[in-house]
Structure 1
Amino acid sequence: MSFLIIMMKTLVNELAVTQSLLKQSASHDFLTSILNRRGFYEKFNALLSNQRENAPISIIAADIDFFKKINDKYGHDIGDYVLTEIANTIINLIGINDIFSRWGGEEFLIVLPNTPYEDALKIAEIIRKEIENKVIKYKGTKIKITMTFGVSSFNPMYEIDQCISNADKALYYGKNNGRNCVVGFEDIIA
């Protein structure tokens, strides 16, 4: 009888671990281990429900410049390694309460609660410089990359997707005007 109880406890524990892994994989990017889009929306909605009224929230969209060339020249293994290195670099430069996700491909999204627009521009510039100065080493290959950043403010009058779109517009303005820069949405619509 005790053998059966031990087996049941073992199975219950294994099921709990599997369930935890499934929950993690549903909300996190498998490659970089940061949030995916689903995880982003879950965290952002939780942020909004706990955020002080009128507290500023800023959004940074970031994209690796010429990432396709990295994959084409060095292969997807190095491309994947670059993505994980960039994610780890950004994690070390943002706050513990910030929301960081892989938005798609080589694009990342950062939400900075309690951060005014001007401060978000400075944070994006710090990240940009750190990435620009970083040498990524993989099996004897050294790679230098740059990133372009778009910054916007969250406005509770709009859906989050509109505010992300604004950051994306600023990012693509930067892409079309030389790359390796930080562009604020409020600066291109002024």
Structure 2
Amino acid sequence: MSVDFETILDKEIDSILTTNTLETALVDLNINLHTGKPHRNPHYPTPPPHGFGLPSPPKYVHSGTVRNLTDQTVHCTVHYCGHYVEDAQHLETVESNLEPRIGKLHFYEKKFLHRPEASFENRKRIYKITVRRSNAAIMELNEPFENVDRPKAIWEFWIKKGKILSLDPRKDQDLKEEKQKA
């Protein structure tokens, strides 16, 4: 009886090994398993789509424009920080008075060295926009900014009567709708 059991076990092992080798033989290494399409370059396969255990990209704004769409002059301050807001060493601000309806403040990318011995520069990010109206009312917009889904080098903030809007200038439809409302 033990002979029959060993024979059965040997046959099962052989069938498992045969099916595994057949399955691996049917896999084409030039096809991306996630999309079913050929790799752009088989030596450097396409990464899996986002969401497979990968962290999401940071939602930072590095540069852009603030526009005043109100009927009064406002004082606008754009606040930059390094890696952390608590790191006072890399805090920086850009300020300007913006005229009614036509005032613009362009804020540019700023860089910093995390350590003096570092061999590369990091980009500062915008963490807050502060607007002070002529009647001393203050509005603030803090990160994470609305509509930002990854690091942005070109971004727009529009100052309106009761709020500050965060808009992507590359999406024409949103800008057309907002300009019609303004």
- Shorter-chain-normalised TM-score: which range? 0.3 to 0.5
Larger CA Rg, structure 1 vs 2: 2
Point out the structure with the larger strand share: 2
Point out the structure with the larger helix share: 1
TM-score under structure 2 length normalisation: 0.33
TM-score under structure 1 length normalisation: 0.32
